[in-house]
Structure 1
Amino acid sequence: MPRIITPSTPEHEINERNARMFGSPKERLDFYRREIQYETSILANRTDAYLTAQSFLVIAFVSCMGNLNPGWGPSFTLMVAPFLALLGVLSSLNAWPGIHAAFKIIEHWQLKQSHLLRSEPMMGLAYDESPLFSEAETSRVGHRKSLLFSLRTPWIFLVFWIVLGSYSVYIQMA
């Protein structure tokens, strides 16, 4: 029968309920690590799909700008190149929310993992003595640095497409 935990509930009952509800600290750590790994693979897949799309857009843009047809080449380049740049801007803006959401979820699980390792002294000691793990893995700065490429890529391409689109219009009008 479920019980409501109140301030007068004995500590051993609360610990017992938590143990039944969450399992051992090792099970929680394993769960957090699986979630981090799952979300990291989602982030990697989103970044990979985004970069693939951007590479095809860059190829199309360069091919468009290289159009030397004397009859319709300049008008084609004036119309299609800015359109491709706009498509690149829109895809960058659409990629950002998904990439950022995956990052925030990874950050959440990393934080939970860090709290677990700090709140369970024995778990933290075993964790720190293991040669496979280090404090850099669980620090906020450490995992943020490893995810910066995925976070920065949409913004870098956004600026890239704005500059290229503006330049393509400028050179056609000048």
Structure 2
Amino acid sequence: MVQIITPNNPEQVQSDRDAKMFGSPKDRLDFYRREIQYETSILSHRTDAYLAAQSFLVIAFASCMANLNPEWGKFFTLTVPPMLAVLGILISLNAWPGIRAAYDIIDHWHFKQSELLSSQPVMGMAYDESPLFCEMESTHKGYKKSLMFSVRSPWLFSCFWLVLGAFSLYIQIDNPLT
């Protein structure tokens, strides 16, 4: 008969596994920091691509609204700018999940980092005394403020496009073709 021997303390198994995987709390902290940096880079690239798309749409919208062609300009400015506004809203709604996912992953790694620093008193003291790091980096309040622009951008642009689309329709309907 084969008997499986397990340790009495599951926490010991976890710490042994962690020691084999990371080596030291410093290695784990370095890993968390690299993951935070990687995900922040992804979030930055997603935000940059999103803002570039929105800026091109704003330029196209303004150009369409400035159309003064006497034959088809009125119909063009009645249809194309609201379509661009709808496109801007759709792009915002499609960009939101990717931006939010990157934010959630960054939040996860910051949580893991703060748990490590609070569970390892020696590591936490070394971390706090280092001039490269400060308490603001390891608190939720600090990094969340720095990521708010990326997280809020899709919602702000959605509202912006809603207002612009309504404005473009109002201007064309209020000033009928004579």
> Do the aligned partners of 1:43 and 1:103 also contact (CA within 8 Å) in 2?
yes
Give the aligned residue type for 1:52: A
- The corresponding residue for 1:90 is 90
Partner of 1:28: 28
Distance 1:69 1:4 in 2: 85
SS at match of 1:150: helix
Which residue of 2 is the match for residue 169 of structure 1?
169
Query: What is the rounded CA distance, in whole Å, between the counterparts of 2:83 and 2:48 in structure 1?
Result: 23
Per the TM alignment, residue 162 of structure 1 is displaced from its structure 2 partner at its CA by 0.3
TM-score between both structures, scaled by the size of structure 1: 0.93
Query: What are the Cα deviations for residues 129-172 of structure 1, in whole angstroms up to 9, with x where unaligned?
Result: 11111000010000000000001100000000000001101110
**For the Cα contact (< 8 Å) 1:5–1:14, is it kept in 2?**
no
Q: Cα distance 1:10–1:71, how it changes in 2: closer, same or farther (>3 A)?
A: closer
What is the CA–CA distance in structure 2 between the aligned matches of 1:11 and 1:101, rounded to whole Å? Answer: 30
**Structure 1 unmatched runs, 5+:** none
Residues 11-90 of structure 1 aligned to structure 2 (within 5 Å): 15-90=15-90
User: What SS does the aligned partner of 2:76 have?
Assistant: helix
- Go from structure 1 to structure 2 and tell me whether the alpha carbon gap of 1:66 and 1:96 turns closer, same or farther (over 3 Å shift): same
Instruction: After TM superposition, give the deviation of residue 19 of structure 1 in Å.
Output: 1.2
Q: Is the CA contact 1:88–1:158 (under 8 Å) kept in the aligned structure 2?
A: yes
TM-score by length of 2: 0.91
Aligned partner of 1:102 in structure 2 is: 102
The SS at the match of 1:70 is coil
1:157 maps to which residue? 157
Unpaired runs of 5+ in structure 2? none
Alignment partner of 2:150: what SS?
helix
Q: Which amino acid aligns with 2:143?
A: H
| Distance change in 2, residues 1:116/1:76 (3 Å) | same
Say what the alpha-carbon RMSD is for the aligned residues: 1.7
Change (3 A) 1:32 1:13: closer
